[in-house]
A and B are shown apart, each in its own frame.
Chain A
Amino acid sequence: MLTYVIRRILILIPMLLTISFLVYTALELTPGDAVSALINPEVASRLSDAQFAELREAYGLNKPFIVRYGIWLSNVMQGNFGHSLAGGVPISTIFLDRLPATLELSLVALLFSTVLGCILGTYSALKRGSITDSSLTVVGMIGVSIPEFFFGLVALLIFALNLGWLPVGGRLLPGYETIWDRVPHIIMPAMVLSLMMTAGVMRYARSSMLDALTREFITTARSKGLPEWRINLLHGFRVALTPVIVLIGFRLPLLIGGSVIIEQVFQWPGIGNEFIGAVRGSDYPLVMMIALFSVFAVLMASLIIDVLTALIDPRVRLS
């Protein structure tokens, strides 16, 4: 397995290089640049071409595309992630500032949705055809099909504006610094984010569990007279977990990319919000680094899924 993991990690390098070039090219093809995004049109109308050229020179935007990409890549390989073109903030600082907020939100949502989704999905499968199963199926379909921003707005209206139980947004209230002060702020965004994820996990867990329960080893276990809970949880659920883990694994990149919509609805100061601003502002060093980290997260998640699958399911062998 170690050889397999090392080989997979080595394969990441050319993949990351290729993807970084594609993202950089895509950015280059989008209209406008950081200078045009930074200066509003009413101010721009008063600037001369020479002043624009001066600004572009200062931002390093006058160089040919391939030279700029080469400089960026060289810097990144030396550990220099560069700085945001908009405000000059080092990208490492932006990551350090924003990533914890996104990780906090995503981890809570991921944890909550995984546990709840697995429990409800398994329960639904075990009670197949019952009113509970049907109800959970309907709830699951609603959760999957209604966009999260809608849930977010409804939650805000009810719990923040009408009932006043929870804050309308932000990560922290001024003057409050302990971890407990953060709890009221994270409840709504995390719950809304996890709602859709829970529905997905639940649907996956249900069908996977139903599939597992029809296997021969379950029949064998029953014929041995094992208690039902043991059959379901130790034999059925363990097998059913494999596809669920794949699904959860592919959600790991959320930890980096964040949930852009939820961060915007709840004014959550995470990296997803930053990414939107960077794309709008053609802030290519920032877009590149966030995109690269997201891609890295996807590739790593894929590796982790393979390893976990092999650990859980003895039939899977990595080679």
Chain B
Amino acid sequence: MLNQISGIALAAGLFMSSAGLVSAQAINDEPLSDPRVRQAIAYAIDMDTIVDTLLEGKAIAADSMLPNGPHKPAGLNAYAYDPDKARELLAAANWDSDRELDMVYYYGDQLTADLMAAVQAYLSDVGVKMTYRKLEGDVGAQLTTRPTNPVDGISNIDWDLGYGAAAATALQEYYNPYKTGGTSHTPGNAELDGLIDAINATADPDAQRPAYFAIQEYWNTNLDALPLYYQQLFIYESNKLNRNGHGYGNEQYNYDFGIVDWTMEPDANGKQIMYTNTAPPQFFELPWANLGIWITSKIVFDKLLSADGSLAVNGSQLAESYSVGADGMSVSFTLKDGLTWHDGSALTVADVEWSVKTALRVPNIHAVVANTFTSIDGGQAYRDGTSDEIAGIATDGNTITFTMSKLDPNMLLTFTQFPPLPMELLKGTDPIELQQAAYWQNPIGSGPFRIEEVQMNDFVRYVPFENYHGGVAKIDEIVAFPSLDGDGNLLKNAGAGKMDYGFTKNVADVAALEAMDHMRVIPADIPYTRMIWFNKFARK
């Protein structure tokens, strides 16, 4: 409670202090550090036209990093296309018209290249020269190498503008990377740090709201990154699939989509076979980084809790029950009786404990999951390797309790996304090399479907797990092919009637799927914001 109150107070205070009080000047010799230049770039780009044309109306122009919803304040400046205003701001900021901005991106699709060309034309119209290039090779390092001094340092990256995205599992993810020292492009400042602390100060959504309002007001003027558009996700289904009333949600993550109840129109042999994609080309991916991208992550691995389509906790999965401490600093899960892995061995709290500990030492796990686990008392020391024990994990019979050393607003969300793995099959594996374990050629899970056959890079067959705690699935078989969104094979398979379910964010896929009589496409608003990063650090 104390945390919640202090969070609200901090947020309210920052809201008052941040509204309209941005110093409109550069913080160093780099013109992009001047908010007026960033605002000018925002005014110069006609996002509404880009959405209507390039994006074929299948996106929403953004006015904030956060998607539309209850956490967005009214009255944000949408930076509607206004080239005159852009020129005015550039003149006020003494923009050097000889300066040529270097924009980088890392997506390989044609749409991105077209978008870059459009942005280049818009900027040219207001007197800003820009070239663009796709990053190759060590993209991560080129994008993210931070300066030695995170406040007044010299930039360690060689670009001016970067086109990227944030796909947030939790809304805090939009801003948390901007805390001092967190990015390669935004100098740390105490005011922003305070606003970020405020959105992380409580797990209560109502209490978080003023903090979100405050940080968006600040951002709307500062534009540390320019939100361009909200990407939609499109779920496609064939007319042979019936979800039997179960809803849709953010398919990039794990949510309760009720696949146990789904049915398919039987084939000539009377079998209900559902075709999908995202089968692995060489190995099954550890489901702790890309949480719900692959069909295997969704149907082979159960989590402790379940979430609804918007990723809010809506019940339990492996857990029979769970309880959160009054101060939000602990959570206990009691597992259902008689849980087993697909090979028949018992699934116990030891598997959960081992999985959490192992995840702490796997470098590339999802940020939300990592934040929760390092918030466990002793979790950070365990991750750093300075301790081999975690005081904040206790087990008692079928119950496991996690005690936090700092509040994590997304603690429960993590347990809707993080699947435990079978300790007996993986113990002894170096966590850094966990993905290299032979287990990932044919993993044993705990979800409603088990893997029956793997023809790597050809197909994977999943069949219902006979002892699933949530009942046996009605579909007889799921066959996954190794295609992804934006992949010609997806459309080819769909055209041939071999694609009954999947999702895509590629607007070209959507147009083609919508043209097929036997397919339907359902748009879903997801927290996925495309943006332009500004490198505001001084240059060498």
Contact = CB atoms under 8 A, between A and B. Distances in A.
A153 to B, nearest CB: 8
A161 B489 CA distance: 12
A171 B458 CA distance: 7
A47 B289 CA distance: 12
Contact of A55 (B106, B167, B364, B457): B364
The 10 closest A-B pairs by CB, nearest first: A31-B137, A88-B436, A44-B140, A87-B283, A32-B137, A269-B457, A36-B138, A51-B363, A58-B432, A168-B496
A86 B282 contact: yes
A314 interface: no
A274 interface: yes
Contact of B438 (A88, A161, A267, A269): A88
Interface of A: 30-33, 36, 38-47, 49, 51-52, 54-55, 58, 83-84, 86-89, 94, 97-98, 156, 160-161, 164, 167-172, 174-175, 267, 269, 273-274, 277
Nearest to B370: A46
B433 interface: yes
Given A44-B139, A55-B363, A87 B183 contact: no
* Most interface-central of B141, B143, B483 (chain A CB within 10 A): B141
Interface stretch (B23-31, B44-52, B243-251, B474-482): B474-482
Interface string B483-522: 1000001001101101000000000000000000000000
B315 to A, nearest CB: 28
A106 B401 CA distance: 58
A269 B458 contact: yes
Interface residues of B, number: 55
B164 interface: yes
A88 B139 contact: no
Given A42-B167, A94-B282, 9 more contacts: A30-B137, A32-B138, A33-B138, A43-B289, A49-B145, A51-B363, A87-B435, A174-B461, A267-B482
Nearest to A171: B458
A83 B143 contact: no
B405 interface: no
Given A42-B166, A88-B436, A170-B458, A32 B282 contact: no
B282 A45 contact: no
B282 A274 contact: yes
Contacts of B97: none
* Most interface-central of B177, B483, B496 (chain A CB within 10 A): B496
A39 B106 CA distance: 13
A307 B458 CA distance: 38
A44 B363 contact: no
A41 B139 contact: yes
Contacts of A83: 436
Interface in B155-177: 164-167, 177
B283 A86 contact: yes
A267 B496 contact: no
Nearest to B275: A174
A160 B491 CA distance: 13
Contacts of B141: 36, 44, 52
Contacts of A161: 492, 495-496
Given A98-B457, A274-B282, A54 B363 contact: yes
A305 to B, nearest CB: 32
A156 B138 contact: no
Given A36-B139, A172-B455, A47 B364 contact: yes
